[in-house]
Amino acid sequence: MSARDVLNQIKGKFDGTILRMDVPEDNRLFLYIRKDKIRDLVRYVFRDLDARYVISIGMDDRPHSGTFLVAHNFAFDKDHVLLSLLVNLPAEYPKIDTISDIVPGANWAEREMRDLVGIEAVGCPNMKRLVLPDGWPENCHPLRKDVPWNFVPPEYDENKEYPFDEAPKGCVAVPFGPFHPTLDEPEHFRLFVEGEIVRGCEYRGFMVHRGIEKLADSVLTYNEIPMLAERICGICGCVHSVVYAQAVEQAAAIKATERAEFIRTIMLEIERLHSHLLWCGLASHILGFDTLFMQSFRIREPLMWIAEKITGNRKTYSLCLIGGVRWDITPDLSRDLRGVLDGIEKEWIRVADAVKGDKNVQKRTRGVGVADKKLVKEAALLGPIARASGVAIDARHDHPYAAYDKVEFDVVVEDGCDVWSRLMVRVREVFQSIRIIRQCLEKMPEGPIQLKLTDELPAGRFGMSSIEAPRGESHHYVVTGENNRPRRWRVRAPTYQNLQGVPAMIKDQQLADMTISLGSIDPCFSCTDRMEVVDIRTGKMKIYSQEELRKLVRNSEAGRP
């Protein structure tokens, strides 16, 4: 089924509802929908056509069309089609019917839309604040075009506290985070615990939101954004820069050079390898199994060195530009890379055998953090979580990009729905990644690594792209714009969806299983928050007030060239 077939199917059922359509490629479909029919259409697409919910995007399009825009994105994984349902909302009444009751996984997206763009989802069951800080005033929405990127509302109230839900009767609220040994970044889970059993939880994250999307549509240019996108995440940064570039390329109908696509594939797989090895290490550490933790990191290290050799950096590759890449893989590097892969493969076979037979690890992970097929569908869970629950989705296979259609690999699926299956999926995916890189090195054609782009990119075009990041599908949505920068760029990292499944995964489990259940989604809060930790180096001891801290940060920013 191509995009046209999906279109015809929808058209047959909702003829008068579609106001405008755009089929830029066989696998992309943009439909403008009548505002009052959005719920019916979403129900049809999500329930009857069994599409996977991807993300919802809110956008202030008043300077151009005089309206607000909302896009609900869905994926037809088996048919390789991405669908975007768009609705125009009048500038004076930015409200749309909620879809959270039909698609539970859309709750965060609707809350974020209200926080950042000021588009209200009418009837949404949970509309608590998600992204904005506690003290931010109600009527100020930073992603609106009339709010400057460096605006600080004068009504900001630093003493305001987040209204947490009351603990249910008989339960104690155990704070998990913002700082905890197993959280690498500040996030807060408020666990409602009865004895040792977790009965529920409330999540408050987004603590250090960096406003990257705002910077992109007001300060940076197309080719600067990949460098910033890469810094969204400390582990899967390359994913974000590539998926952004792909979204822009799709919007502007550009195709990166063939060699560049192979290089992108190789670097993405190197990233998956080091990320999976990192996860195996961290998960073992959470379980108290430090030997596997140390061994994983030792095995991982040569990957970081080869990445540094190729790109100049262990982790932040600065790889991608619109239409190509910045680093080539020379024959020397190619030989080195093969050597590294051989070494890792040999060692990982031994680790995989040891882990598979380890009763002790199985005892801690089997039947723990269960996410069944229903939860995967409802919360739109992704990547290894979905694949460990028998749902074979993998953007590399379902929505081929870069050079993935030119290599062979298996989509690894397990059906235990628990942490053990997620561990097995990741352990086995390591071998697939090695296989992909080897094929790429063999098949990579000669040629330029970067397109020569002389014309300005056309404005007002829509682009969306999905990439299988180590943690699941990363989805970016781009609307091209004027001044050599996009009008809107929306990042949806896999953890954004996977985190929404965690409360259901830890409910009625032991407190001890909380950390590994959360760990099993390989949470990447920085992707979700798109935030950064500011490191303030001071020699002397001093306790800063919030106001002083803020001044400190401002001053250092002002001092920069």
Partner 1 sequence: MNHTLTTILLAVVNLALVLALSPLIEGIMRKITARVQSRQGPPIRQPYYDLLKLLGKEDIESGETPLMQRFAAYLSLATILSVALLVPMGGRVPLQSGGDSILLIYLLTLCGISSLVAALAAGSTYSLVGMSREMMAMMTLEPLLAVAIVVGAIHTGSLRLDDVLGGSLYGAGAFPWAGLIMLGVLVFSLQAFVGRVPFDTAEAETEIMEGPMIEYSGPKLALFKYARMAKLFVYCALFVALFAPWGNALVYPLSLVIFLAKVFGVVLLVTLIAATHARYRIDQVVRYYAGLFALSLVALVFAVNGL
Distance CA 133, CA 155 (A): 13
* Residue 364 touches partner 1, criterion: CB under 8 A: yes
* Residue 510 touches partner 1, criterion: CB under 8 A: yes
Q: Which of 43, 80, 145, 180 binds partner 1 (CB under 8 A)?
A: 180
Helices 511-520, 419-443: inter-axial angle, 10-degree rounding: 20
Taking the least distance from each CB to partner 1, the nearer of 195 and 460 is 195
Q: Which residues, numbered 194-223, are part of the site for partner 1 (CB under 8 A)?
A: 195-196
Stretch of 179-187, 235-243, 422-430, 546-554 lying at the interface with partner 1 (CB under 8 A): 179-187
* Residue 513 touches partner 1, criterion: CB under 8 A: yes
Least separation in angstroms between CB 364 and partner 1: 5
Nearest to 238 by CA among 345, 301, 326, 342: 326
Q: Which residues, numbered 66-105, are part of the site for partner 1 (CB under 8 A)?
A: none
Contact characters 123-162, partner 1, x per CB under 8 A: ----------------------------------------
Taking the least distance from each CB to partner 1, the nearer of 196 and 442 is 196
Stretch of 200-208, 390-398, 415-423, 504-512 lying at the interface with partner 1 (CB under 8 A): 504-512
Q: Which residues, numbered 12-51, are part of the site for partner 1 (CB under 8 A)?
A: none
* Residue 530 touches partner 1, criterion: CB under 8 A: no
* Residue 543 touches partner 1, criterion: CB under 8 A: no
Taking the least distance from each CB to partner 1, the nearer of 301 and 532 is 301
Q: Site size for partner 1, by CB under 8 A?
A: 32
Distance CA 72, CA 84 (A): 6
Least separation in angstroms between CB 345 and partner 1: 18
Q: Say if residues 50 and 65 touch (Cβ distance below 8 Å).
A: no
Q: Evaluate the CA torsion angle 393, 399, 400, 405 in order and state its sign.
A: positive
Nearest to 341 by CA among 294, 307, 383: 307
Q: Which of 175, 339, 447, 448 binds partner 1 (CB under 8 A)?
A: 175
Least separation in angstroms between CB 368 and partner 1: 9
Q: Provide the 3-class DSSP secondary structure of residue 492.
A: strand
Q: Which of 252, 514, 518, 521 binds partner 1 (CB under 8 A)?
A: 514
Residues 6 or more apart in contact with residue 320 via CB below 8 angstroms: 226, 230, 238, 241, 242, 244, 245, 264, 326
45 burial (CB, 10 Å; 0-12 / 13-18 / 19+) is buried
Q: Which residues, numbered 242-301, are part of the site for partner 1 (CB under 8 A)?
A: 284-291, 293-295, 298
Rg from Cα positions in the chain: 23
Q: Which of 67, 182, 450, 484 binds partner 1 (CB under 8 A)?
A: 182
Taking the least distance from each CB to partner 1, the nearer of 32 and 289 is 289
CA distances from 23 to 82, 112, 255, 402 (A): 11, 28, 17, 21
Q: Which residues of 261-276 are buried (b: 16+ CB within 10 A; e: fewer)?
A: bbbbbbbbbbbbbbbb
Helices 419-443, 258-286: inter-axial angle, 10-degree rounding: 150
Stretch of 167-175, 399-407, 461-469, 490-498 lying at the interface with partner 1 (CB under 8 A): 167-175
Taking the least distance from each CB to partner 1, the nearer of 361 and 376 is 361
Decide the pairing of beta strands 462-469 and 324-325: unpaired
Strand positions, DSSP E, 293-448: 320-321, 324-325
Least separation in angstroms between CB 132 and partner 1: 28
Taking the least distance from each CB to partner 1, the nearer of 13 and 363 is 363
Least separation in angstroms between CB 512 and partner 1: 5
Taking the least distance from each CB to partner 1, the nearer of 359 and 537 is 359
Decide the pairing of beta strands 197-204 and 462-469: unpaired
Strand positions, DSSP E, 77-223: 81-90, 95-97, 120-122, 172-176, 188-194, 197-204
* Residue 363 touches partner 1, criterion: CB under 8 A: yes
Q: How far apart are the first and last CA of the chain?
A: 53
Q: Which of 181, 357, 539, 561 binds partner 1 (CB under 8 A)?
A: 181
**Tokens representing residue 169 in the block:** 């009767």
* Residue 534 touches partner 1, criterion: CB under 8 A: no
Taking the least distance from each CB to partner 1, the nearer of 311 and 365 is 365
**DSSP states of 167-200:** PPTT-EEEEE-SS-TT-SS--EEEEEEETTEEEE
Stretch of 36-44, 121-129, 131-139, 357-365 lying at the interface with partner 1 (CB under 8 A): 357-365
Residues that bind partner 1 (CB under 8 A): 172, 174-175, 180-182, 193, 195-196, 284-291, 293-295, 298, 358, 360-361, 363-364, 510-515
